[in-house]
Amino acid sequence: MPKLRVHNYAVSLDGFAAGPDQGPDTPLGVGGERLHDWVFRTRYGREMIGEPGGDPGPDNDFLAAGDVNIGATIMGRNMFGPVRGEWPDHSWTGWWGDNPPYHHDTFVMTHHPRPALPMKGGTTFHFVSGTPEQVLAQAFEAARGQDVRLGGGASTVRAFLAAGLIDDLHMTIVPTLLGTGERLFDNLGTLPSYRVSDMLATAAVTHVWLTKVS
Band of the pLDDT at 6, cuts 50, 70, 90?
A: very high
Band of the pLDDT at 33, cuts 50, 70, 90?
A: very high
Q: What topology is assigned to 4-82+98-212 in CATH? A: Dihydrofolate Reductase, subunit A (3.40.430)
167-213 pLDDT, tens digit per residue, is 999 999 999 999 999 999 999 988 999 999 999 999 999 999 999 99
Average of per-residue pLDDT values in the chain: 96
Query: Vertex 29, ends 27 and 35: CA angle to 5°?
Result: 90
- The pLDDT of 106-126, averaged and rounded, is 97
144-174 pLDDT, tens digit per residue, is 999 999 999 999 999 999 999 999 999 999 9
Residue 36, classed as helix, strand or coil, is: helix
CA dist list (Å): 77 to 85, 87, 97, 201? 10, 11, 17, 32
Contacting residues for 60 by C-beta, under 8 A, at least 6 apart? 42, 43, 44, 45, 54
